[in-house]
Amino acid sequence: MSHLILQSPSLSATHVEQIAALVSASGVQELGPTAVRLLEADDAETAAVAAQCERYGIDYAFLPKIDLLREMRILAMDMDSTLVSIECIDEIADAVGRKPQVAAITEAAMRGEIKDFAESLRRRVALLEGVPESALLEVYEQRLSLNPGAERLVATAQKHGLKVLLVSGGFTFFTERLRERLNLDAAHSNVLEIVDGKLTGRVLGDIVDAAGKAAHLKALAETLGAGPEQIIAVGDGANDLQMMSHARYSVAYRAKPVVREQAAFALNVSPLDAILNWFRLSF
Does a structural domain hold residue 9? yes
- 73 lies in a domain? no
Q: How many domains does the chain have?
A: 1
257-260 contacts: CB < 8 A, separation 24 or more? 257/111, 258/111, 258/112, 259/235
In degrees and rounded to multiples of 5, residue 30 shows phi and psi of -80, 130
Instruction: In whole angstroms, give the CA distance from residue 75 to residue 185.
Output: 10
pLDDT digit string (tens) for 70-109?
999 999 999 999 999 999 999 999 988 999 999 999 888 8
The catalytic residue among 42, 43, 78, 185 is 78
Report how far residue 275's alpha carbon sits from residue 281's, in angstroms, rounded to the nearest whole number: 11
In a domain, 27, yes or no: yes
Is 136 part of any domain?
no
Question: Largest alpha-carbon pair distance within the chain?
Answer: 67
Helix (H) or strand (E) holding 217: helix 210-224
- Determine contact, residues 226/138, Cβ cutoff 8 Å: no
Residue 77 lies in a domain: no
Q: Is residue 78 annotated as a catalytic residue, yes or no?
A: yes
59/266 Cα distance (integer angstroms): 7
pLDDT of residue 283: 55
Task: Say if 237 falls within a structural domain.
Answer: no
Query: How are beta strands 35-41 and 2-7 bridged, if at all?
Result: antiparallel
Give pLDDT tens digits for 238-272. 999 999 999 999 999 999 999 999 999 999 999 99
The pLDDT mean for the chain works out to 96
Residue 43 maps to which CATH number? 3.30.70.260
For residue 4, give its domain range: 1-66
pLDDT higher at 5 or 107: 5
Give the C-alpha separation, 191 to 172, whole Å: 6
Asked whether residue 6 is assigned to any structural domain, the reply reads yes
Contact partners, residue 140, CB within 8 Å, separation at least 6: 173, 174, 177
Give the per-residue pLDDT at 114: 80
Parallel, antiparallel or unpaired: strands 2-7 and 59-63:
antiparallel
Q: Given pLDDT bands bounded at 50, 70 and 90, which one contains residue 190?
A: very high
Q: Is this structure's pTM higher than 0.85? A: yes
pLDDT of residue 111: 86
Mean pLDDT of 197-210: 95
User: Which residue among the candidates 80, 90, 236, 240 is catalytic per the annotation?
Assistant: 80
Note whether residue 106 is domain-resident.
Answer: no
pLDDT 10s digits, 109-155: 888 888 788 888 999 999 999 999 999 999 999 999 999 999 999 99
